[in-house]
Structure formats: structure tokens, C-alpha cells
Structure 1
Amino acid sequence: MHDADAKAQLRDSITQRMQRLTDAQKAAESRTLCRELLPHIPKGSTVCAYYPMKSEADIRMLLDELLLRGDNVFLPCFENNRLIFRKIEDFADLHKGALGVLEPKQNAKELEKETADIILVPGRAFDYAGNRMGRGNGGYDRWIAKHRKAHANTKCIGVALECQIVGSVPTESHDEPMDAIVTARGYKETMPRE
């Protein structure tokens, strides 16, 4: 089976799994994974994260904690078909973007030359080898590849609900691996990158 076909089938399978998950189950898993993840983010970190869509682990509790302790938190937005990260100080700094997701306003500081210590990456599916499948447009993969080229020590952590973990994610040459995966069951380092 061609990788694109395998990915399409996996996306469909994950969508079905997500639909079986109740809101209460998703909320409980999200709270637990936030507690699992927090100790792996050193205080004072610069963190690129995401504001959750309905089909993603809800990390707002974690974002609140990072902001309260004074970490630098950047969230994504799409401008001119380009993924960029802008700093937030508070959820009041967000507005509904072009994709209908809350994102930082255009006047917020953009992550440019600063190094992101940690990138919290959403996705459709993950495996414990560090492979990730996104929504199919490659935005995160391109951004992560560019950032890693300039900042090799940045740690990419895949954030997933249990139903998004599979035995093996089909990959292509442009897919960027995760350094760790976090779920409600815990934080797991993946194979080291070359």
C-alpha cells in the first residue's frame, strides 16, 4: 500500500476512535497528560505549544501553569500559508484565526531568532518510535525541520490521547520525528535522532 493511502486509512481510523471517546474521557486523559508532562518542562523554558482543537489533547491546564510560572509560551498561527509562532501572556491575547482556531493576534511577538527549548506537537497519530502523522499539509514538519536546523537541541514532544497511539505510523522522508511522546499513561523518550 502506498504511504499516502496508508496515511488516509489511518486518519480515518483515528477519526473513528476519537468519535467513540466521550468528552469526560477526553477531559480526564488531557488533565492526566498535562500532569505527566509538566515535570519535563524546566522552569524558564521557551515553549512552542498549541491551542487545542476539539480533536486534540486539551493542554490549556498546562499552558495556564507555564504562564503562571513565567515561562515564555508561543502558540501557532497561519499567516500567508506559513506556520509561525507568536508569544502569549494570557488567553485574552488570542482571537479566532483563519482556520477557526484560537491563535495569537498579529501584533504579538513572533518567535524568530530565539530558541524554542520545547515544541509541544499535536497530531492525528503517533507511535512510540517517535513517528507522527499530522493533518496532511506538512506545516509542522516544515517548521520543525527549519527550527531544528538552526537549533539542534530543541526537544519535540508529541502530545496524544491514548486513542491516537498506534503500533506504527507510515512515514515519508519529510516527516519529522518526535523526541518524546506524552499520553495519560506517561512520558516516553523515543529513539535518539541522528
Structure 2
Amino acid sequence: MSHGRSPAESDKRMLRREFLQVRSRLTEDAVQAAGVALADRALELPELARARTVAAYLSVGSEPSTPALLDALRARGVRVLLPALLPDNDLDWGGYAGAQSLARVRHGGKMALLEPTGERLGPQAVASADVVLLPGLAVDTRGMRLGRGGGSYDRVLARLERSGAHPALVVLLYDREVVAHVPEEAHDRPVHAVVTPSAVRRFGNV
């Protein structure tokens, strides 16, 4: 059995570098402004309007900013779950209760992440979510998502499939990150919608 990279995996690595380079040139003001616009768009989603529990994430660096959306969901009375990275790159979950419920955690040589400080609910807690908001670098016209390559959300999606849970899967991106084609591997799963600062786009796989 070959342990070399598949063509799709190599293509993904190249694409990730390109998208991350573009993001790295964004100013902090641009990131924040995109986050406010993104929150406005996302809150128009019927799936979020009726959601009782949303599994979300805290943006880092030049990712589209998510705190405005998290706080708006909380203000609506939605239970918001945020991830905590485990040593094997899997995700545990905890409740979000505002900025004071977060602590900065450094994982080895990786970037420090803000994680919930309260009770850990276990990796399976994501299955209770009505909507799962996913980070990414791009999505294509079929709804295939390009992640960062760490595999954490591949595990989340596989866990949802195994548990028979069917939350709405929504990826949050910048406008230019909706592209014609993203390379896919056997384990990749399409999302139901993408939200960018200017639009919501749905895919026909719901």
C-alpha cells in the first residue's frame, strides 16, 4: 500500500497555501467588518432562526470573524457549543457564555486558541446541534469544503454520520472563497450552505 500523497491531497495543499496567502494580507479592520456582515447574513438563515443548539467555533487570525455571530445567537437564547482541541486533534465541546467564558490555550507549537472554560461535554455533544458552523478555506459549487488539513472537522462529520444526526452544515467564508472546484477525497462530505459577507448560497444536497 502506497503512503504517498494522492493527487487530490497534493492539490489541496497547494490551494490551502494560496487561500491562506490571500487571507494573510487582510487588515484587522477588514476581518472585523467581514465578521459583522457575515453575522447579518447568517442570521437570515431559516436553519439558524429555528435552531436551539448551534455548534460553532471562534475564528483565529484572518479567518472571517465569528464573535459577532456567536453573541447574536446567544442573545436569541440559542445554546452555543464551542470546540476544545484534544491531543489527537479530535474536538471536545463546551458551552459559550460570552467572552468571559473563554481562555487562551496553547497546543504545543500551534497557534493559541480561545476555548470554553466550563464543563467539557465530550466529543459526542456535537450530535445534539441543529446547525454546525464549519471553518474552511474554500467551498465549491457542489458544496465540497476545503478545510485547513488538520482533520478535526473530518472527525466531527464522520461522528455525525455514525450517530445518525443530520444537522445543517454551514461553512463561513469570504466572498472570493466560493470557487468552481475543490479537490475531494473519499472521506470528504459536502455542506448544505455557505455564508459569506455578501450572500448565502445553498447546495442541492440537503
Q: 1:60 to 1:124 in 2, by over 3 A?
A: same
Residue equivalent to 1:34: 39
Deviation sequence 1:112-137 (CA, Å, 0-9, x none): 46621000000122223211111112
Q: Aligned residues, how many?
A: 193
Name which of 45, 55, 72 aligns with 1:65.
Answer: 72
In structure 2, distance between residues paired with 1:112 and 1:134:
21
Q: Secondary structure at the match of 1:95?
A: strand
Please state how far the C-alpha of 1:59 moved relative to its aligned partner.
1.3
Mapped contact 1:44–1:71 kept (Cα < 8 A): yes
Name which of 126, 129, 134 aligns with 1:116.
Answer: 129
Residue equivalent to 2:169: 156
Please state how far the C-alpha of 1:43 moved relative to its aligned partner.
4.5
- Structure 1, unmatched stretches of 5+, are none
Residue equivalent to 2:154: 141
Q: Secondary structure at the match of 1:39?
A: coil
Q: Does 1:96 align with 2:104?
A: yes
In structure 1, distance between residues paired with 2:168 and 2:158:
12
In structure 2, distance between residues paired with 1:128 and 1:95:
37
Deviation sequence 1:41-77 (CA, Å, 0-9, x none): 1245200000110131101111111111211100011
In structure 2, distance between residues paired with 1:190 and 1:36:
16
Residue equivalent to 2:19: 14
In structure 1, distance between residues paired with 2:64 and 2:177:
10
Normalising by structure 1, report the TM-score: 0.90
Residue equivalent to 1:4: 9
Q: 1:23 to 1:90 in 2, by over 3 A?
A: closer
Residue equivalent to 2:183: 170
- Structure 2, unmatched stretches of 5+, are 1-5
Residue equivalent to 2:3: none
In structure 1, distance between residues paired with 2:27 and 2:14:
22
Residue equivalent to 2:204: 191
Mapped contact 2:124–2:159 kept (Cα < 8 A): no
In structure 2, distance between residues paired with 1:98 and 1:147:
27
In structure 2, distance between residues paired with 1:110 and 1:66:
22
In structure 2, distance between residues paired with 1:62 and 1:20:
23
Mapped contact 1:120–1:158 kept (Cα < 8 A): yes
Residue equivalent to 1:179: 192
Normalising by structure 2, report the TM-score: 0.85
Mapped contact 2:101–2:118 kept (Cα < 8 A): no
